[in-house]
Amino acid sequence: MTGRRFTGCLRKKRKKNRTKIPESMPTADQVRAELARERGRLRYGQILRSTLFTFVVAAAAAVLVAVLVMPVLRIYGSSMNPTLTEGEIVVSVKGADFEQGDLIAFYLGNKILVKRYIAGSGQWVDIDEEGNVYVDKKPLEEPYLTQKALGECDLDLPYQVPEGRIFVMGDHRSTSVDSRSKTVGCVADEQIVGKIVFRVWPLSEFGTVK
């Protein structure tokens, strides 16, 4: 009876120490499929990071271009009607050479104004009662105007443009406040943002600006 009891105890211990084998192991195809899925997830993460990095770099480059080379401006007010109207978006170019008739963007305090280049340093500007403009005694051809006016002018005419400055006027002569008024005066080189060259909005008016 003692031997039987001892044998029974051994059998019980063997049952307790027996390792449980899984009913089924993954096949080689399942392992390969899982590895392929994992590699796909890694590739997706790499592509996503690369795309985000490219987007950030492109956005930063666009901001630098917009600020340093080609500032983008939104038009406010009616002083440049009919050439430019409120809400339009234009692109200017820094460091451009200015010619008579060009559209110039410049700082006045904390605002940016857009006016038309009329005369440069040392030139004489005169305006008659009908709004005809003369530069160095020669009448200025202004096909961009729909009407002329003397407008707000408190200068002693004829007026000589100071050294290092330019004389500007808006196209809506009866309402524009520009170099004819001492409130604005002539524009110094350091005030200039750039020359307006292109209109990007609205799309119906997309193209160069004259």
- As beta bridge partners, residue 92 has 196
Of 86, 178, 85, 187, the C-alpha closest to 131 is 178
For domain 72-208, give its CATH number from 2.10.109.10, 3.40.50.1000, 3.40.1180.10, 2.30.30.30. 2.10.109.10
How many residues are listed for the chain in this entry? 210
SS3 content of the chain, % helix, strand, coil (to 5): 30, 25, 45
List pLDDT tens digits, range 8-41: 444 445 555 555 555 567 787 776 777 778 777 7
Question: What's the burial of 77, exposed, middle or buried (CB within 10 Å: 0-12/13-18/19+)?
Answer: middle
Q: How far apart are CA 142 and CA 43, in angstroms?
A: 62
Helix (H, G, I), strand (E, B) or coil at 62: helix
For residues 131 and 125, is the Cβ–Cβ distance under 8 A? no
Q: How far apart are CA 59 and CA 91, in angstroms?
A: 17
Strands (E), 136-208: 138-139, 159-160, 165-169, 187-188, 192-201, 207-208
For residues 194 and 175, is the Cβ–Cβ distance under 8 A? no
Residue ranges per domain, the chain? Answer: 31-69, 72-208
List pLDDT tens digits, range 161-170: 999 999 999 9
Name the pTM for this structure: 0.66
The chain-wide mean pLDDT, for the chain, equals 79
- pLDDT value at position 7? 45
- pLDDT value at position 136? 95
The tens-digit pLDDT sequence of the chain (210 residues) is 444 444 444 444 555 555 555 556 778 777 677 777 877 777 767 676 656 545 443 333 333 344 444 578 888 888 999 999 988 999 888 876 788 999 999 999 888 999 999 999 999 999 999 999 999 999 999 999 999 999 899 999 999 999 999 999 999 999 999 999 999 999 998 899 999 988 988 888 888 887
- pLDDT value at position 9? 45
For residues 91 and 70, is the Cβ–Cβ distance under 8 A? yes
